[in-house]
Structures are given as C-alpha cells and as structure tokens.
C-alpha cells in the first residue's frame, strides 16, 4: 500500500480524517486487487486497533461498523483469508452511509448504519447493538439506533436476524409495509424488491407483525411463517420448514416444491448472473433441490439430468435455458 493511503487509513481510525480524504481513501480501497496490498490493510488494522490512543468505545463502534464478511461463491477457495481481511476492505465497498461528517472535519458522528450486498454475494454483519444479521444476495439493510429508545431496521431483500435481547429497547424490522417487532429472537425476513409478497419465518422466540392495512396485529410462533401480500392486503400464517427457509445463511441453496420460474430467479440472485428461460411449458412445475458450495455449472447439469433442461452459456454472466 502506498504510504499516503496508510496515512489516510490511520487518520480514519483516529477520527481525524476529512470528508475529502475519506472519499479518496475509500476510492483507493475499492480499487484494490493486489493480495499484498490487502495484507497491508489487514496488518494496519491489527496494529492500530490495539493502540491505547484509540478510546475503547471508539474501538467498539469501529468494530461494529466493520465486522462483517462477504462470501462469494466464485472466491470460496480464498474464504478463510477473506474472512480475516474483509472487516477492513469490504466496508468501503458496501457501507454506504455509516458515517456522517459535521462541520468540524475532526469529528465523525454516527448516523445510519447501512449495508448493501450485491447480487451473487452473501454477508454477515454485527450491528452496533450486537445483534447479528445474515444477509442474502441483492439486499440492503439500514440500522437506526437511539431514536425513542427503539432499534429500527429497514430491509429490502432477505435477511436472517439473531437479535440481542434488550427489553428496554424494542427491535423493529420494517420491510415493504410490514413491521416485525421483537425483544430477543431469531427469524428470517424476505421482502424482495419488485415483489408484493413479504415473508417472515420464526425460528425461536416470538414476534409481532403489523401493517397499516391490517385490522389487527399477529403473533408468530416458532416454525410458523407469515405471508403478506401488498396487493391483496391479506396476511396468512402457515407452518414452515425453517431448515429450508434459512439454509441460505449457511451458504446452502435449497428450494422445496418451488415453481421453476421462481427457482430461476433464485439462481440469478445466488450466482449473480442473468438467466433467460425459454421453457414456458414448465414455468409452473414444482421443483426441489439442495446445493452447498456447488458451482452454477453443477446445478445446471443436475437440471439437465433430472428435468431434461438444456442450457447454453453466453459469456460469464448470461445463461439460456431450453427444454
């Protein structure tokens, strides 16, 4: 790493970086590709985070902001190393507005904590309140703390939450007109952009669901799933298989009796590719499958054998399906 960028990085750790310097540093970090440079970043992190000059509370806040990693299927051979360095490199790519600068450039005021996970990636993040969140691909999370003593999260996409228990500070997830309120529990929320369906599955504990269009609140019990439609304004509670609902957070692509058209969308998000389906006759056919750490090629070969679906690769990011 160039010495100048090291200097900027240290200024960032100590809260003495200006807005322009921060943007410059983030730009440089985003463009890093050399493994030796990445190693230098991780080394700087380790050295500075144990410095007595940095207040313990500052360390805690910085760790909370930077403590997440991205699992990319294309880079799974390097996963262990990436988990060590992602706390340094990835935040500059995916944290959009974790810091808000005030008039004095030496002060950084914590505002919204934002994480964006691009298509084809998964992420794990520890929120400032120590709640843990696993985020699926093509998802965005905004954490707002301190307002009326409420922990508020806004979600677009899919995420699994393991909420740090704090009875004095309710934890509320807002996802496309549905509010999920908890005290301490584990649950999954799916609210994909462009879809009118919001799904909430409860693993343990209890949660309350509400919406302005609903005449009452609903309490969810473990192994139940609430399915709400923004179009019909109807909420249904059904039994669910949480192993299937939350398999994605363990890097497992699993679908059970899902429409072929929906499975294609899952594959697009999971692998970060565009898939054109020319199989209109089987769009509504139900399919099941489970793949952990498998390549897209392996999944498509399985489809070819089991469902007689042929495929053609058009470059690295486009696949065409036939039957």
Structure-token pair, residue 104? 């004095």
CATH number at residue 121: 2.60.120.1440
Grade residue 87 by pLDDT with cuts at 50, 70 and 90: very low
- The vertex-150 CA angle with 147 and 154, nearest 5°, equals 90
Grade residue 323 by pLDDT with cuts at 50, 70 and 90: confident
CA distance 197 to 233: 10
CA distance 181 to 248: 23
* Residue 290 pLDDT greater than 60, yes or no: yes
Pairwise pLDDT comparison (53 vs 114), residue with the higher score: 114
Q: Give how far the C-alpha of residue 163 lies from the chain's centroid of Cα atoms, to the nearest Å.
A: 15
Q: Give the Cβ contact number of residue 200 at 10 Å.
A: 26
One domain, residues 143 and 164: yes
Predicted local distance difference test score (pLDDT) of residue 144? 86
One domain, residues 2 and 24: yes
| Tens digit of each residue's pLDDT (9 = 90 or more) over 241-279 | 999 999 999 999 999 999 999 999 999 999 999 999 999
Predicted local distance difference test score (pLDDT) of residue 2? 53
Summarize the confidence of residues 102-110 as an average pLDDT. 37
One domain, residues 10 and 138: no
One domain, residues 117 and 239: yes
One domain, residues 125 and 212: yes
* Residue 199 pLDDT greater than 80, yes or no: yes
| Tens digit of each residue's pLDDT (9 = 90 or more) over 246-256 | 999 999 999 99
Four-residue CA torsion sign, 269, 273, 278, 282: negative
CA atoms within 13 A on the CB side of 298: 10
Report whether 185 contacts 163 (CB < 8 A): yes
Grade residue 105 by pLDDT with cuts at 50, 70 and 90: very low
Q: How many domains does the chain have?
A: 3
CA atoms within 13 A on the CB side of 206: 5
Predicted local distance difference test score (pLDDT) of residue 65? 42
Structure-token pair, residue 272? 């970060």
How would you write 20-83 as a 3-class SS string?
HHHHHHHHHHHCCCCHHHHHHHHHHHHHHHCCCCCCHHHHHHHHHHHCEEEEEHHHHHHHHHHH
Looking at every residue in the chain, the average pLDDT score rounds to 77
Percent of the chain with pLDDT over 90: 50
One domain, residues 201 and 101: no
- Domain boundaries, position 305: 251-322
Q: Give how far the C-alpha of residue 257 lies from the chain's centroid of Cα atoms, to the nearest Å.
A: 25
Summarize the confidence of residues 217-239 as an average pLDDT. 95
One domain, residues 201 and 291: no
Pairwise pLDDT comparison (292 vs 46), residue with the higher score: 292
One domain, residues 125 and 37: no
* Residue 295 pLDDT greater than 60, yes or no: yes
Grade residue 210 by pLDDT with cuts at 50, 70 and 90: very high
* Residue 302 pLDDT greater than 60, yes or no: yes
pTM, two decimal places? 0.65
One domain, residues 212 and 230: yes
* Residue 14 pLDDT greater than 90, yes or no: no
CA distance 183 to 167: 6
One domain, residues 191 and 263: no
CA distance 58 to 14: 8
Grade residue 39 by pLDDT with cuts at 50, 70 and 90: low
CATH number at residue 262: 3.55.50.30
Report whether 129 contacts 183 (CB < 8 A): no
One domain, residues 79 and 125: no
Pairwise pLDDT comparison (17 vs 268), residue with the higher score: 268
Predicted local distance difference test score (pLDDT) of residue 79? 41
Structure-token pair, residue 297? 């090629």
Q: Give the Cβ contact number of residue 239 at 10 Å.
A: 8
Map tokens 């790519």 to a residue: 93
DSSP 8-state code for residue 165: P
| Residue that is last in its domain, among 204, 232, 248 | 248
* Residue 190 pLDDT greater than 90, yes or no: yes
Predicted local distance difference test score (pLDDT) of residue 258? 93
Structure-token pair, residue 143? 């954490």
Of 299, 303, 290, the C-alpha closest to 271 is: 299
One domain, residues 239 and 272: no
Listed as own residue / partner, the contacts of 200-206 with beta carbons closer than 8 Å and 24 or more positions apart are 200/175, 200/225, 200/226, 200/228, 201/225, 201/226, 201/240, 201/242, 201/245, 201/246, 203/242, 203/246, 205/163, 206/182
Grade residue 321 by pLDDT with cuts at 50, 70 and 90: very high
| Residue that is last in its domain, among 227, 248, 269 | 248
Lowest mean pLDDT among 62-66, 126-130, 136-140, 295-299: 62-66
Compute φ and ψ for 106, nearest 5 degrees.
-85, -5
Predicted local distance difference test score (pLDDT) of residue 188? 97
CA distance 55 to 59: 6
| Residue that is last in its domain, among 106, 136, 160 | 106
CA distance 59 to 298: 43
């Amino acid at each position: 790493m160039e010495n100048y960028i090291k200097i900027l990085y240290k200024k960032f750790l100590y809260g003495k970086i200006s807005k322009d310097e921060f943007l410059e540093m983030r730009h440089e970090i985003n463009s890093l590709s050399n493994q030796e440079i990445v190693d230098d970043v991780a080394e700087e992190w380790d050295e500075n985070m144990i410095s007595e000059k940095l207040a313990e509370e500052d360390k805690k806040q910085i760790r909370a902001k930077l403590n997440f990693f991205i699992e990319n299927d294309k880079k799974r051979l390097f996963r262990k190393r990436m988990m060590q360095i992602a706390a340094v490199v990835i935040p500059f790519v995916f944290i959009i507005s974790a810091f808000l600068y005030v008039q004095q450039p030496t002060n950084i005021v914590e505002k919204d904590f934002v994480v964006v996970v691009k298509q084809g990636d998964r992420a794990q993040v520890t929120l400032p309140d120590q709640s843990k969140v696993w985020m699926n691909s093509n998802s965005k999370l905004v954490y707002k703390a301190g307002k009326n003593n409420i922990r508020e999260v806004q979600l677009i996409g899919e995420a699994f939450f393991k909420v740090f228990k704090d009875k004095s500070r309710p934890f509320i997830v807002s996802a496309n007109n549905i509010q999920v309120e908890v005290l301490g529990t584990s649950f999954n929320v799916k609210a994909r952009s462009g879809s009118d369906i919001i799904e909430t599955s409860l693993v343990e504990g209890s949660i309350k669901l509400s919406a302005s269009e609903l005449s009452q609140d609903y309490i969810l019990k473990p192994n139940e799933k609430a399915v709400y439609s923004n179009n019909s304004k109807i909420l249904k509670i059904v039994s669910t298989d949480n192993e299937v609902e939350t398999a994605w957070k363990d890097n497992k692509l699993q679908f059970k009796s899902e429409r072929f058209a929906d499975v294609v969308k899952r594959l697009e998000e999971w692998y970060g590719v565009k898939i054109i389906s020319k199989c209109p006759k089987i769009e509504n056919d139900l399919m099941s499958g489970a793949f952990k750490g498998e390549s897209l090629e392996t999944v498509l070969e399985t489809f070819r054998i089991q469902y007689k679906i042929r495929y053609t690769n058009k470059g690295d990011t486009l696949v065409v399906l036939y039957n």
